[in-house]
Structure formats: structure tokens, C-alpha cells
Amino acid sequence: MMSRRTFAFSLASFALGAGGGGAGQNSVSRSSSKITLSATVNLGIEAGQALGTLLQVRGSGSMDVISALGVPQFYNHYVRNNPRMLHSFAKKGDQSDFVVTELGTARNDNPRYHVFVLDGVLIDGTNRQYYDEGSNTWVNLPTPWNGTTFAAGEQINYAHWIGSGLFVSTDKGIYYDGVKIVGYSGPTYKPSNGSALFHNGLLFTSWDDGYIRVYSWTPGGAVGSPISSFALMPSHFLRAFGILNGAVYAISGYGRAIKYDAVANSWAYVSQPESVNEFYCLMQWFDELRLGDYPNGDQWHLTASSVTRIPDFPPEEAGAGPNVREIQAMTMYGGDMVLPLFPWGVVHRHDTINNAWHYQRLYTAPPIDMSNGPYIDTFGGNTDWRQRLPCAGIWKDGAFTVGSNTPGNLQAPDYESVPNRDEYGKVWKLVRPHAVSGELSWKTVPTTFTMEISAAGIVTKQDGVTISTVAGFTPSQLEGTDPLTVEFGNGIYGQFPGSIVSTSIQQE
């Protein structure tokens, strides 16, 4: 019988972390056959918040996160990550490529531009379909869907639960529990536009009329007139919203970041020493937001006071030129950054522990060259057939991304002349070992999240009920050789905004 060592701590046992949300730390042994880490927390009232890091195991370096449990935050091209999507991983040091599979068959008209996860199901909001795992096909959503009836051609950007009702953001409005609470009323309409975020009693919206509007709203109640209306710079439009340390930010096409002051009910542009053509997406990374840009294909740091570029992050693909690179989507999977890039349809993965880049191209043709993208030489000029991966996320034991051409019109005049045209409408699943996602249940009473690491599996539970499980390994095989530190309430996914009641570390 193996010995069991158990360490249980109340919140009072620790000094709080720098952000006020941490519950301290302790070490674990690599010689254990099983590690079980638990955090009992108060989630608070569900207000659309990003849940951040519940717990993590770290090596000696500040970025050496060997394992973690929490909810990543990312917002890609109008598509927000499900804020109940709990992700866990343990790193074994394996740097193999993603195993790539196609989900269902590709479309040959509209791409599956807005893809998200709800109740464990992968949903194509562009075409209002869902992926049926049993038949490996995409199936039309029923009408009504979760009590919501859409107009003809209406596209779903994303949907997630808030309380007992479903919050749905589309290109024509916002719905809650089947009722349209905000409708688009601008002078023009462009398919695929429309962004929304609910956070702490405020509803943030923007369509293509150049304004960000803020409403007071309690889920289940009516929405009145906007309490603020902010005009973006001329010709600018909103790409994504994000939350950092409780504050709401927005990023725009034509490359600016804006911060909302909840006390003054006003917006201000964040200091930015260098200009950029466009921002496309954002993702939380520790205590900052990372933005993806065009035309450099670089990430930017966004903090409360500034936005600065990270040059050559990610680096250029072998053989490619430096032009018209674009990070259109970002996600976190298995402790790594996953960044799909235009124009060559390449997924870059950054292994933070080793500060190493790995990349895989998902499109099979044409060969990468120094031009501005695929089929430039074939058709000349700025062809429609450069290769986009405009959406990414996490689902079950993998990540996913989707394919599109430049305008999102898969029946362009030269369609028949593109030999790999079907790839432009695909959804790809990307799997690496020892990472898994599942949706948590929001509870207003203390709830306990547990992560187990052993040869039997990497298992996450909530109040003893398994949320997800994936193949595991013994703690002695965790990446690195340095001592392991367990930290609660702050880390790779950012600060946990609730309160930690108690924590527990068990080793066998």
C-alpha cells in the first residue's frame, strides 16, 4: 500500500497573491504515483466574467507552467470563448505535432467562420449547424434552437449560458432566454459583423455603424436605452472585447485598443507608441491581454496603460515573405499558445517552457513562397484565395480551427481553378496528448474543483462529478527536473475573480 500525504489549507493559511485572488502555494513531489489538487471556491454571481486560473503546477521559472486547471479567455473575430469551458493539462515534454483530423465534410459555399462550443457540442454559427460526432456530419440546428428563433440568414457569433438562460450574440442582435434584448439598428448591414459582451451588469455591443454602446442589464430583465455611446475613429470597427483585472477592453480594426472606465462611464484609447493596420483577436496570458495583428502577424502586449508590439512573435514560416501576415485567431491548449495565421493557413504553437515555436500548415497547396500568399502568381494581384484560419478554440481532447478564403465567399469566379478549394470550408480538430476540456456547472454555493494526475488519467471533477478525462502519466514524467510548486487562484489564465475557501494537495 502506498503512503498518502495530504495537505489541506484554509484561505487563512496563506498570504494572498499579488492580485488578491491567490490562495498561496506549496510544493509537490515528482516521486508520487498520483497527485490530487483541489480548490473549494465561491464563484459568486455569474456575470459573464472570465474565470481564469483555479490552480497550476509550476517549475522554477515564472512561465514554467507544467500543469493547470482553469478557464482560458479568448475572443476571436466576433467569437468569444465559452466562459464555462474548463481546461486542464499536464506537460510530459512531448513536442510532437498536432494530430489533425477533418470534422465532417467541407462546405463549398459559405465557410464555417464562427465556430464555438456549447453543452459539449461544436456549433457552426455561420451556417447554423452542429457537428454530429456519431455520423461525422454537420446537421442543421433545430428551429427554434434553445428557445431562440432566428431570421433567415442570421449568423450566430457565439452563445453561452448565463444563469438559467442562453446568451446569444448574432450579426443582427442579442438574445437571452429566447428573447431578443438588443437589435441592430444601424444605417447599414454587413454579414458577420456584430460583437457583444456581458460583464458585471453591463452589456457592451457594437455593429458596423462605428459605435460601442453600453447598457445596464440584469439577465432576465429588459434592456433600456444605452447609458453610453462611444464613437470609434472614422472607418474603425470593433473586432473583439476582453476583460483584464475586472476592466473591459475593446480592440478595433485599424489597430487601436480602448479601455472602459466603469466609474466615469467613458472610454479612452490605451497608449500605443507604434501604429498597426488592424487588430483581429485577443487572449489573456497571465496578467495581460495579448492581441493579434495585421500586417506583421505579431502579438502585442496589452496592459492597463499601454499596448506594445512583440516583434517576430510568431516567426515567419520557412520560405514565406514578411508581408500581409495576420493572426486572426488565438487559443490556449495544453499550456501552449496556438496561433493560426493568414495568408498560408499555418497553425503556430508556442511552447512557453522551452520558448520554442512549432508550426504545421493545414492547407496542402500551393507551396509556400515569398509572394503575398497562395495563388498570387496563378491569378495575379490580391487574389481571393489566400488562406484564412479565422476561428479557433478548445473542445474535448483537442483544439479546433476553421478554413476560409479571403472574402469568406467560397464561390468566387475562379473557384473551379483552385485544386484544393474544398479545404477552404473545412473544420480541423488538432490533438496533442494530455489536455482536455469540459464545461463546468455554475453554482452560487461553495463548489470544489479537483484535478488528478496519474497513469490512470488526467481527470477533472466538480464536487466529485467527472467533467473530463484524458490519458495520463505518473508525476515523475512531468516536464522538467526542477521542484514543482502548486499555486492557487492566479497564473497562466489570469487571476481567478471569485474567492478561495480552501485548498488541498494529496500525494500517493
Q: What is the pLDDT of residue 379?
A: 84
Say what the pLDDT of residue 25 is. 58
- pLDDT of the residue at 17: 31
CATH numbers and ranges of domains, the chain:
5-73+84-93+440-507 (2.60.120.200), 95-114+320-432 (no CATH)
pLDDT < 70: residue spans in the chain: 1-25, 185-192, 382
CA angle 224, 226, 229 (to 5 degrees): 170
CA–CA distances in Å: residue 369 to residues 185, 208, 319, 376: 44, 35, 5, 10
pLDDT for 186:
60
- pLDDT in the model for residue 19: 30
- Kindly list the distances between the CA atom of residue 352 and the CA atoms of 50, 222, 286, 395, 400, in Å, as whole numbers in the listed order: 22, 45, 12, 21, 20
Interval 404-458: pLDDT, tens:
998 888 887 777 889 999 999 999 999 999 999 999 999 999 999 999 999 999 9
Distance CA 312, CA 323 (A): 12
Q: What is the pLDDT of residue 9?
A: 40
Query: What pLDDT is stored for residue 348 in this prediction?
Result: 98
CB 335 within 8 Å of CB 492: yes
Locus of grid cell 493557413: 345
- State residue 415's pLDDT score: 79
| Interacting residues of 413 by C-beta distance below 8 A, sequence separation 6+ | none
pLDDT at residue 15, rounded to an integer: 28
| Distance separating alpha carbons of residues 444 and 493, to the nearest angstrom | 22
CB 345 within 8 A of CB 307: no
d(CA 53, CA 335): 12
pLDDT of residue 23: 44
